[in-house]
Amino acid sequence: MAQLELVHPAPIDLDAPLSARGDHNIIAQMIDEGARVLDIGSGDGALITLLTREGVKARGLELDPAKVHGCVKRGLSVVQGDADRDLCAFPSASFDYVVFSRSLQRLRDPEAALREAARVGERVIVTIANSGHWSGRFELMFGGRINKARRGREILHPMSIRDFVALARSLRMSVERAVPLSRNKPGAPFAKVLWRANWFAEEAVFLLTP
């Protein structure tokens, strides 16, 4: 049975006030005040706004020019770019955290992006949609197809929680914290055994140390 060894299983406040995105609240708790953060796939800038309010120096990289324009109009530091191509242009160790909040699985090459993020940031935070959730297993069993639309977005690379942990380990990254979420609300942080989260978590937030 797969085991998940946490480096520093620090507590997460499960009773903290929730914003519109449950994973954003968990991510904000994982990041130290004053840290330098690069948010990959910033979207409407909701995470950067939350982090800025918490005293974090957050910048964003977003592919959609309309979303970049909207962020800039609101005074957020977001530039247009393709993470698959442009992450390599950032200097090594230029950020304390690189964040993929529901964005890694939309990239053409998640493994390469994660490798670059580990070079650019001292830590990497990733939210993944869990294709191993029981509902997805039933869809595959009875419909014969994998549902690539999760949490309102198209996913190019479906993966289960076990798949992601295996990917992180293959890149020699340690899981420092991991929190499952269902219906946008966090559950108890992972135990060492992965099977429960792999079956019942709709998504999960990982804090990785290269």
Domain range annotation of the chain: 22-209
pLDDT for the residue 151:
47
pLDDT of residue 156: 80
The whole-angstrom separation of Cα 62 and Cα 186 is 26
pLDDT for 166 beyond 70: yes
Query: What is the C-alpha to C-alpha distance for residues 81 and 7, in angstroms, rounded to an integer?
Result: 33
DSSP-derived 3-state class of residue 42: coil
Q: Which of 14, 33, 55 is nearest to 185 (CA)?
A: 14
Q: What percent of the chain stands above pLDDT 90?
A: 60
Helix 46-53 / helix 22-30 crossing angle, nearest 10 deg? 40
Q: Tell me what percent of the residues of the chain surpass a pLDDT of 70.
A: 74
Higher local confidence (pLDDT), 72 or 136: 72
pLDDT in tens, 2-36: 455 554 444 555 455 445 688 999 999 999 999 99
Q: Is the pTM of this model over 0.95?
A: no
174-182 and 78-80 as β-strands: parallel, antiparallel, unpaired? Answer: unpaired
For residue 150, pLDDT over 60 is answered with: no
Q: What is the pLDDT of residues 43-82, one digit of tens each?
A: 999 999 999 999 999 999 999 999 999 999 999 999 999 9
Query: What tokens does 129 get?
Result: 């949609």
> What pLDDT does 139 receive?
57
| Length of the chain (residues) | 210
Higher pLDDT, 133 or 81: 81
Of 24 and 194, the one with more pLDDT: 24
Q: Which is higher by pLDDT, 166 or 1?
A: 166
- Where are the extended beta strands (E) located within the chain? 36-40, 57-62, 78-80, 95-101, 121-129, 149-150, 153-154, 174-182, 185-186, 203-209
Q: What is the model's pLDDT at position 90?
A: 96
For domain 22-209, the CATH class is alpha beta
Segment 97-125, tens digit of pLDDT: 999 999 999 999 999 999 999 999 999 99
